[in-house]
């Protein structure tokens, strides 16, 4: 059985003080945290502080991006080595906001996935179609291409540690999530593609999240489906008062349906 993994993507939110405040509040509610893998992907600058203050909590830290090189003349970038030294375990790669606003393409995303594995970080690889692609019924093609290109040269022994987040671009921050059925259809397709590129066993072991307007009152709609193991959450992860109920609902829905 795959374990549930729910990740917060704080995006460009929270100063160091605000991040500390979040953790203080979370610690007060610690006894209400169900057992699941929880990850907070926070802005780089807050990671050192969070890594110290999360010590006794069952929450891991992730970055939202990184460069693929170990070091070099790349002004403004952060390397996988730097993240690893901080004890960071996860890194979001290929988020649609990075594809759109920072012109990341599948080739760059592929380098980042390779670098993440090389440095012992678990990549949360984001893929998903735009509204126009959805309307043009190109979702399956887009997903297949994004996966194939992002995973080029990724060795078989690494692949079961991969996490893929299916995030339809039109669902992000829109308050208009995909239906559970549609999300699960794509999650299933992702496993089929991994099964073709690697093996059935790898496909059944790697985890797939859904992301895009996930809230406490809709996460159950995704988690009840077999191919969805968790969620990547933006807006609703910013406050403990919205994130904690979301985690609880998500875990409960998976337990009720497994
Ligand atoms: P929202 O949950 O705010 O829609 O954001 C989803 C997302 O982009 C997570 O990476």
Q: Please work out whether the CB of residue 19 comes within 6 Å of at least one atom of ligand 1.
A: no
Domains and CATH numbers, the chain: 5-256 (3.20.20.70)
Q: What pTM was estimated for this model as a whole?
A: 0.98
Q: Write down the pLDDT at residue 56.
A: 80
- In tens, the pLDDT along 92-130 reads 999 999 999 999 999 999 999 999 999 999 999 999 999
**Rounded to whole angstroms, how far apart are CA atoms 90 and 69?**
17
Residue 60 near residue 39, CB atoms below 8 Å: yes
SS3 of 42, please?
coil
**Each residue's pLDDT tens digit, 17-48:** 999 999 999 999 999 999 999 999 999 999 99
Whether the CB of 214 sits within 6 Å of ligand 1: yes
The Å distance, Cα 96 to ligand 1 centre, comes to: 10
Ligand 1 pocket test, candidate residues 41, 95, 172, most atoms within 8 A of CB:
172
Distance of alpha carbon 58 from alpha carbon 37, whole angstroms: 8
């Amino acid at each position: 059985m795959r374990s549930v993994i729910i990740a917060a993507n704080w995006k460009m939110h929270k100063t160091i003080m605000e991040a500390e405040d979040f953790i203080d509040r979370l610690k007060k509610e610690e006894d209400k945290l169900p057992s699941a893998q929880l990850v907070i992907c926070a802005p780089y600058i807050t990671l050192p502080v969070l890594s110290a203050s999360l010590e006794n909590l069952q929450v891991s830290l992730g970055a939202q991006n990184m460069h693929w090189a170990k070091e070099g003349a790349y002004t403004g970038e952060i390397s996988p080595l730097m993240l690893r030294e901080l004890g960071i375990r996860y890194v979001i790669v290929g988020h649609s906001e990075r594809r759109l606003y920072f012109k990341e393409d599948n080739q760059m995303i592929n380098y980042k996935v390779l670098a993440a594995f090389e440095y012992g970080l678990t990549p949360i690889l984001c893929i998903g179609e735009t509204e126009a692609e959805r309307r043009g019924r190109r979702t399956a093609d887009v997903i297949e291409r994004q996966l194939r290109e992002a995973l080029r040269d990724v060795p078989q022994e690494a692949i079961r540690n991969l996490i893929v987040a299916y995030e339809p671009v039109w669902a992000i921050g829109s308050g208009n999530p995909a239906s559970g059925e549609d999300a699960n259809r794509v999650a299933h397709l992702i496993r089929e593609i991994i099964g073709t590129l690697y093996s059935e066993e790898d496909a059944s072991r790697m985890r797939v999240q859904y992301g895009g307007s996930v809230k406490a009152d809709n996460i159950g709609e995704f988690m009840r489906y077999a191919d969805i193991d968790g969620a990547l959450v933006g807006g609703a992860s910013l406050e403990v008062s919205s994130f904690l109920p979301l985690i609880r609902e998500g875990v409960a829905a998976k337990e009720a349906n497994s």
